[in-house]
Amino acid sequence: MNGIVRKATGGTIMYQLQVCPCAGRRYRREPNAQLPSMAVRILIADDDASIRRLLRRLIESHEGWTVCGDAHDGQDAIGKATQLHPDIIVLDLAMPQMNGLQAARAISRQNPELPMLLLTVQQVSKELTNEALHAGFKGAISKSTGSEVVKAIEVLLQRQSFFQPVRSDVFAW
């Protein structure tokens, strides 16, 4: 949208009104001024509310990232992906009604370029990696390495894949 503001001194200033799709906020931009950078919008899907809260805190502590919504199961994730148009989706593998793999297949049919990260309580095996790739995921990590979430999202945002390697030489104490 364009508009004109008349100054008390009699002059006029041209400006553009930009709408931020993530929250519907409007920003006034004067000529040669830079628009505020748009936050990376991330959708979280996990059936555990405490995990969703933890992921939200972790994601929103990263400058320039915001959680645009969260879903409690795969079906909810599909609806919110369509409604909210996130830049990336973080999906839990094991959710009621529809798991993360099923939801990813449906989301990929609608938006094949949308990066999705699979979270799982199990170790990311070669078999799981193959299933995730076929479902449309660009990355997969174990919930036991939650600190890797930020790194994985950064990699996916660069249009690269991030599949956590299986480490058979590491012992869990």
Identify the structural domains of the chain with CATH numbers, from first to last.
Answer: 1-34 (no CATH), 40-163 (3.40.50.2300)
Structure tokens at 36: 């505020």
Residue by residue, DSSP assigns 115-139 as -EEEEESS---HHHHHHHHHHT-SE
- DSSP string for 59-122: HHTSTTEEEEEEESSHHHHHHHHHHH--SEEEEESS-SSS-HHHHHHHHHHH-TT--EEEEESS
pLDDT of the residue at 102: 97
Share of the chain above pLDDT 70, in %: 73
pLDDT of 133 reads 95
Give the SS3 label for residue 5.
Answer: strand
Quote the pTM value: 0.74
Tens digit of each residue's pLDDT (9 = 90 or more) over 6-18: 444 455 444 444 4
Is residue 7 classed as helix, strand or coil in its secondary structure? coil
Q: For residue 37, what pLDDT is reported?
A: 59
Query: Token pair 């505020």 is at which residue?
Result: 36
Residues 6+ apart with CB under 8 A from 136: 104, 105, 107, 108, 112, 116
Q: What does the pLDDT look like over 80-136, one tens digit per residue?
A: 999 999 999 999 999 998 999 999 999 999 999 999 999 998 888 899 999 999 999
Burial 155-171 (b: 16+ CB within 10 A, else e): bbbeeeebbbeeeeeee
C-alpha gyration radius of the chain: 20
The pLDDT value given to residue 119: 94
Which pLDDT score, from 0 to 100, does residue 146 have? Answer: 66
pLDDT of residue 21 exceeding 50? no
